[in-house]
Structure 1
Amino acid sequence: MSADAGAIDSLPIVSAPGYLTKQESIAVHGVPNLLVRSLLDKQQFYDPEDAALALGISSAFWSLFGLLWPSGSRLAERLALRPVSTHERILEIGCGLALSSLVGHRRGANITASDCHPLAGEFLRENLRLNKLSPMNYQHGHWGQHTAQHQDPTVNSRFDLIIGSDILYERDEQGDLAHYINEHLEDHAEVWVVDPNRGNRAHFHRNMAAQGFSLREEVLDISATETEAAYKGRMLTYLRD
């Protein structure tokens, strides 16, 4: 990782109907800086037609998709180092602002971003435009019981690599996430999850094992620098037994 990996240079704040946003220059080692439009802060909320609520996203969680998170930066750095293969299909689940997908797309990877938030696709398309990147695949991806209508096509195919960051925010006793991953993964494929030491890893490990996956776990303990905060978490790599 370079000294400026994860560095952020703020640009002027811009507004959007119902909420405030900002643009930042994000440095990820291995690719040129990316301009990323995000929500101004966690206090933003705009769901006039209850589209998010119908998908199970309350006002308390509405803004989380539109913020940059440390685990997302760690995942983007890993993907920036992965050799690009035109035959490999990658899916990012719970992508939020899709930093990893933007990195992969810029490098020429065949990557699809997915999220359940009704504005995630709109933000991705804007960030592609800001970086003068060609269109990329975005699909609605939602594990669990919510079946509300949405405007984007639903993830309905299989991939060679599924990636996600900070997605273990529930105990998920029913194993919905592990089942969803298994349903969309090719045989002999792999799964990457970057987790900021939340307390739900044990449940996820058990659920993934029930789907036939083995785990390789790497401790991430990154010291703070002048441009980057300290980070502690885990890089979880799952392979089929």
Structure 2
Amino acid sequence: MLKSIPYKTKLRTIHIPGQAPLEIFTLLDKQQFYDPKGAAERLGICSAAWPLFGMLWPSGLQSPDHVAQYIHAHAQACSEVWVMDPNRGYRNRFTRKMSEYGFRLAEDKKIHRPYAFNNNDVPESYSGRFLHYQRDINPSLL
């Protein structure tokens, strides 16, 4: 039997002109928080920071172009974007697309520490990368 998750989500559909709609799950509100074993806290994520992690989307189901276009459409002319890349082979294509929208890759760092804890509270490693993009363009170019 599946256990009920102690937080609520909602499905949002974001329409991008000329593209298939982007579907993402977001936390229902900014008061949602669930860390019964303290795993997030050990990684430095406090309850107040959870709204920053409120977008849960199946990135593997979206093309790098869709994700980059979504970021471009919602980011300010002067902005920063942090992406956790799971090393599925799309980093270069995504970075090229981000560049088309005025973002430059400021940092590309391999993740060397555990990112999650399994059901036995044992840390599991993450083979991905931390990508940090920055953009500072004239707002009239948006």
Instruction: Tell me the TM-score normalized by structure 1.
Output: 0.34
Match of 1:178 among 48, 68, 87: 68
Give the match for residue 113 of structure 1.
54
Which amino acid in 2 is paired with 1:21?
Answer: K
Runs of 4+ in 1 over 4 A off after TM superposition: 108-112, 223-226
Structure 1 stretches of 5 or more lacking a match? 1-14, 24-35, 39-54, 58-72, 81-102, 117-165
1:172–1:203 Cα contact (<8 Å) kept: no
Q: Secondary structure at the match of 1:221?
A: coil
Is 2:112 the counterpart of 1:221?
A: yes
1:217–1:235 Cα contact (<8 Å) kept: yes
Q: Quick one: distance in 1 between partners of 2:85 and 2:77?
A: 24
Residue pairs, 1:84-123, within 5 angstroms: 103=46, 106-107=47-48, 111=52, 113-114=54-55
Deviation at 1:107, TM superposition (A): 1.8
Which amino acid in 2 is paired with 1:181?
Answer: I
Is 2:85 the counterpart of 1:195?
A: yes
Residue pairs, 1:131-146, within 5 angstroms: none
Q: Quick one: distance in 1 between partners of 2:50 and 2:61?
A: 30
Residue pairs, 1:1-241, within 5 angstroms: 20-21=2-3, 36=6, 77=43, 80=45, 103=46, 106-107=47-48, 111=52, 113-114=54-55, 167=59, 169=60, 172=63, 175-215=65-105, 216-222=107-113, 227-241=122-136
Q: Quick one: distance in 2 between partners of 1:56 and 1:108?
A: 25
CA deviation digits over 1:94-153, x for unaligned, max 9?
Answer: xxxxxxxxx5xx32787583457xxxxxxxxxxxxxxxxxxxxxxxxxxxxxxxxxxxxx
- Provide the identity percentage: 27
Report how many aligned residue pairs link the two structures.
103
- 1:111 to 1:199, Cα distance in 2 relative to 1, 3 A: closer
Q: Secondary structure at the match of 2:89?
A: coil
Q: Secondary structure at the match of 2:71?
A: helix
2:22–2:66 Cα contact (<8 Å) kept: no
- 1:77 to 1:192, Cα distance in 2 relative to 1, 3 A: farther
RMSD value over aligned CA atoms? 4.0
